Amino acid sequence: MNRDSKDLIGAHLSQSLAALERATQDAALLAAARKTAEIIIAALRAGNKLLIIGNGGSAADAQHIAAEIVGRYKQDRPAYAAIALTTDTSALTSIANDYGFEQMFARQVDGLGQRGDVLLALSTSGRSPNILAALRVARERGLITVGFTGTKGKTLGALCDHLLVAPSDDTPVIQQIHLAVAHGICDEIEQTLMRGAAKK
């Protein structure tokens, strides 16, 4: 590599590290993360479920989070109810074809969501029409709505009961913070529910 060329990989890692360090000092983010864990724990204990949505990289994160909850995060334990609404290609394509791309998550929330469920919406921009449409339907159906976004997506908060804002406006870095926070939330969910089961 030419000495004058920029080390893009190193620069990205430095940027990510700086954002994660900001996140560890962000009282509002930490409070939102703890509240999100508390809400999901309460919903799962009550027999409700977690629904997760996102586009692109956030769709992959939605699947990742659901897998940690249904499968396991770190410990063998009972399965918990979580569904990524990003994975059913037949539903996604038929809804997008028949009702439009904007309705691809809203229609699934309408069909699968029940009062007391939690909808976790991942949107780095906070402006994705299909995310906003799903949040509106979730509120109409009595779901608890949680949004994860970046510094430019705070308007998403108008449709969310709780909002977590990653301290970055760079999409890949926002997604990394979202997943790091989600892993912490999965750990909290797993340990809390296992402690509760052990006491019975």
Q: Which residue ranges make up the annotated binding site for Zn(2+)?
A: 64, 68, 175, 183
Separation CA 121–CA 127 (nearest Å):
11
**Phi, psi (rounded to 5 degrees) for 180:** -65, -45
Q: Looking at the DSSP assignment, which residues form a beta bridge with residue 53?
A: 121
Pairing between β-strand 82-84 and β-strand 50-54 as defined by DSSP bridges: parallel
Please tell me the total number of residues recorded for the chain in this structure. 200
Phi, psi dihedrals of residue 84, rounded to the nearest 5°: -85, 120
Q: How many CB atoms lie within 10 A of CB 120?
A: 29
Binding site per annotation, positions for substrate: 55-57, 68, 97-98, 123-125, 128, 175
| Cα–Cα distance, 181 to 65 (Å, whole number) | 11
Q: Which residue ranges are tagged as binding site? A: 55-57, 64, 68, 97-98, 123-125, 128, 175, 183
